[in-house]
A = this chain, B = another copy of it.
Amino acid sequence: MRWTIAARPIARELVPEDFEKDANPAASPALREGELRVAVLMLSCDPAQKGWMENVAGYAEPTEIGQTMPALGVGRVLESAAPGFAPGDLVQGLLGWATEMVVAAEAMRKVRDEPDAPRLALGLLGSSGLTAYFGLTRIGVPQAGDTLVVTGAAGGVGSIVGQIGKIAGCRVIGIAGGPDKCRWLTEELGFDHAIDYKAEKVKARVRELAPDGIDVLWDNVGGQMLEDLLARIARKARVVICGGIARYQQQGRPPGPASYFNIVFKSARMEGFLLGDFAEDHDIGRDRLRKWLAEGRIVQRDEVVDGLENAPQTLLRLFRGENRGKLLIKVAQ
């Protein structure tokens, strides 16, 4: 079974009709040199997937209508025509919404076969955890005593950013939607404060909680939220632009942050990055995160939805902001 891309969600929200179910895909041909046949075990839901469907320039390989919906995932090798890979190996990389796929081995990474390996590899030790780790440590450069504000704080990346911020000695303020998520941030993840943007006035609350301004701003959201927070940065602030959930869902292109000029008054820096920029150091990041997890200093929180059947609805939930932590789809054991 697989799901294909049926339409491009450009300048609009994702809808279930953007995907088409293919209950009986053609049997994949014999492997060519360098290929692997993989049983898909687990897939992750990522904001970037909408960009892939839109063919946003600069983000990824172009997608085609009718192709299997791409998704990052973990699978088990069923058959190998590539040196260094054997049946039974766990691999991670760009897979898709299918029970079985044929992929180029060079695009796959072998995953350590540890307990809960697929979940770990896609969550804390995967793109979310590494994005949080490298974006915060290398771009945000938090200093002990800094005030770190994280938007989209209950998401897969934001929930880890805040926890690493605590380890780095920051005062951490998370912004999320709804009292449950906010309680989760402060009570389970150890954030110092959480602001419920659906019920509270973000600008006024940030002024109360961070009277000296924001030293590190981690933005997953964009739009009005980013504009309000840029107005509250401290001198020499670092603004890490990671995502733009507000942007993904809007009709047409939203305006940029009118308060951007505050980076001049505050001698501040606003910077973006792609996870691949730090590819050489990914193993260093994984080791740190694994250690913090083992020491109980980071809580790995994700939500695993069972069944490839539910993939479209699950990805839609991500864009409605209904998840806490990383949202994963379990395809097989």
**Residue positions of A touching B, CB distance < 8 A:** 56-59, 222, 227, 241-244, 247, 253-274, 277
Partner of A265, one of B59, B256, B267: B59
Q: A255-B255, A270-B270 known; A58 and B261 CB under 8 Å?
A: no
Partner of A256, one of B241, B259, B267: B259
- Give the docked Cα–Cα distance between A159 and B322 (Å): 52
Partner of A274, one of B242, B258, B267: B267
- Closest beta carbon of chain B to A177's beta carbon, Å: 21
Give every chain B residue within 8 A of A56 (Cβ-Cβ): 265
- Give the docked Cα–Cα distance between A188 and B258 (Å): 36
Look across to chain B and name the residue whose beta carbon is closest to the beta carbon of A260.
B256
Q: A267-B274, A269-B271 known; A261 and B247 CB under 8 Å?
A: yes
Partner of A257, one of B243, B260, B269, B277: B260
Judge whether A272 and B277 touch: CB under 8 Å: no
Say how many copies of this protein the assembly contains: 2
- Give the docked Cα–Cα distance between A227 and B247 (Å): 16
Q: Which of A58, A222, A241, A256 is packed against the most chain B CB atoms within 10 Å?
A: A256
Give every chain B residue within 8 A of A247 (Cβ-Cβ): 261
Q: A256-B259, A271-B270 known; A265 and B227 CB under 8 Å?
A: no
Give every chain B residue within 8 A of A58 (Cβ-Cβ): 262, 265-266
- Closest beta carbon of chain B to A210's beta carbon, Å: 16
- Closest beta carbon of chain B to A278's beta carbon, Å: 10
Judge whether B271 and A263 touch: CB under 8 Å: yes
Give every chain B residue within 8 A of A271 (Cβ-Cβ): 263, 268-271
Judge whether A264 and B270 touch: CB under 8 Å: no
Judge whether A264 and B277 touch: CB under 8 Å: no
- Give the docked Cα–Cα distance between A227 and B257 (Å): 11
- Closest beta carbon of chain B to A299's beta carbon, Å: 27
Judge whether A267 and B261 touch: CB under 8 Å: no
Look across to chain B and name the residue whose beta carbon is closest to the beta carbon of A259.
B256
- Closest beta carbon of chain B to A237's beta carbon, Å: 10
